[in-house]
Structure 1
Amino acid sequence: MQARKIYLSGGSTYIMSLPKKWVEKVGLKEGDTVFVMETQSSLIVELREKEEDNREIVIKTSRVETSEALEKLLISYYLIGYDTLKIILDHKEQLKYREVARHISEILIGVEIVEDTNEALTLEILLNERKLPTIKALRRIHMIVSSMLSELISVFKEGEKALAKDITIRENEVDRLYFLVVRQLKGAVRYSHLAEKLGISDPRDALGYRMVVKNFERVSDHCENISKTYLKLAENDIEDMREFAKILKLVSDAFQKASKSFFSLDMVAAQRVFYDMSEINAIHEKTLNKLFQSKIKANRAMLLKGIMDSLNRIASYSTDIAEIAINMSVDVPPK
């Protein structure tokens, strides 16, 4: 860190010099324009064209061991902010790698195949950050996860198998939005201009958003696990599953309270989530005891326990979200 003095020019303009080494490193010259973004406690000087340059990566499939590895690699490049992913199809199992590339265009938002030949396949990431800022994407994820929890309650109350199957489809949409938000947050940390487009005015918000979106995604995963387990159990009998609706309602309410406290940064509302956990824990323990004292088959008991474990994890993620809300609502100490 270097210290700089501020000078007053013309009675109204404050001037500060830029470090010479940095100016020479980035190739600035007299008359060039730089961009300044204000945060709560600092100013960020940036070359805007860096963020607007097309970032392209070329991947040779002959250097990627498996098609599964290619999928992970493409997702990583998407998350880190590349705009063009060119895949050279020089592996003998070309078809598998081509299928992975097409699958990526389905599971990642904004990815389009713009070139598809025998030798290469090019994916272009076409996104407009202003149309879906980060907080709006988070609200969209929350809305989907909330509906998944609501549908699970109906599934256990009414035995609606069709709803259980629909929850799996909704989980895929949560994953798509999750990857998008992670990409946005990684970009916002690197480029203040992009952060401004995404509506992120304070860098510390990016960390809070990153933790919350991961908790949202984990809750949706457990909703999917519960629905799949329900479908296995429902092949025989659903009578012993209806009592799960009560704890599901409590867990869903805790998730809603935690999410609401996060979006409103309401510390008092966030604290209430922790009070609700005592009732959830008591019912969780009571249900497990009743389950293992019953005379149902061992494999069925283990599946029901799996549902209880998932509900317990969702409740835990809700308290994590509430804790993040408390942390983000606290003012930064003055310097």
Structure 2
Amino acid sequence: MSSGWRRPWRRTHLGTEADRATFRTLHSASLASPALREGLTVDSAGRSIRHLRDLLGTPALALTDVDSLLAWDGIASHHEGQAAPIAQRTAEAGDTRVADRDEVDCGRPGCEIRAAVASPLVVEDRIVGTLQVYAPVATAGLVQAADEVAQWVSGQLDLAELDASRTRLMEAEVRALRAQISPHFIYNSLGAIASFVRTDPERARELLLEFADFTRYSFRRHGDYTTLAEELRSVERYLLLEQARFGDRLGVTLRIAPEVLPVTVPFLCIQPLVENAVRHGLTGESGHISIVARDLSQEALIEIEDDGAGNDPETIRRALAGDPSTDSVGLANVDARLRATFGDDYGLVVETAPGAGTKVIVRVPKFAAGVHA
């Protein structure tokens, strides 16, 4: 048996000084980023400015919109009043500039601040504010650093605008989907409720409450997301109202795994698919709708199936592409919102053929970053 000597493990510094400087830079940027991703406001500027000053290593830093100060960090706060005029001149110039001496001079003996570099913050080719670096002297390196950090901040603000645009688009798509809720369904539901008023007033009262809850959920104004439990509860109300109208002609089967009920999904992503199933599945004397939700470990699988006349796959392809002539309520809308929320791997899958009924498959991750009900 051979024996050998091993050098004992000893903790050492990670990497070179350049590596550590890179880490510090990335760390400061990562701390500033979340606030900037909310857009340029007094609140986001206040939460990010300290990290931006750490990034630049300067005595003082200001963030402004195009005509007023949003946040100041560092020494010599008596210079705060100079930030707004410098911002206005920088916005007019449209480029990084070194402030004139009289723009920065405070007349106080011993004040370290003798120079300022201001860089515009640009979102979608529009100047929305400035980043202003205050220091004893405006070196070429400081000007370059200010310009590069301002470009990075502008990139974060661009992403914030993209997020806001995406939210506005999703809200517009939900509004469009609400507009597609059939007036005939509302009229027929109220008619079915009215038919029970004399013969079965208790059932009429229950159906009226279900109708009120259904419309309240469908037209609510808060949140892009909901839980699968809430979405399926609205679907159940919808089907109860349709069964009140069609009676025994409409059969419904629901098989829901309880593990998937807390899963977050886009608002109104299941209900339009069930409405399509009722509309196209109840073509003869009777029809049957099946809704199944399964737990697939990391994902939830929801299937909406009818035994109706089925459809030409090419017609479904056009419906998913947004062709309004296909008479499929919200199919493209739901598909687009699922993909926008979870990625292109999570679009709708539709299995159909003439005479074979239709099955629509929705697959969603049980957990997705940034997606909360």
TM-score (norm 2): 0.25
Which structure has the higher relative contact order (CA within 8 Å, separation 6+)? 1
Which one has the bigger helix percentage? 1
Which one has the bigger strand percentage? 2
TM-score (norm 1): 0.27
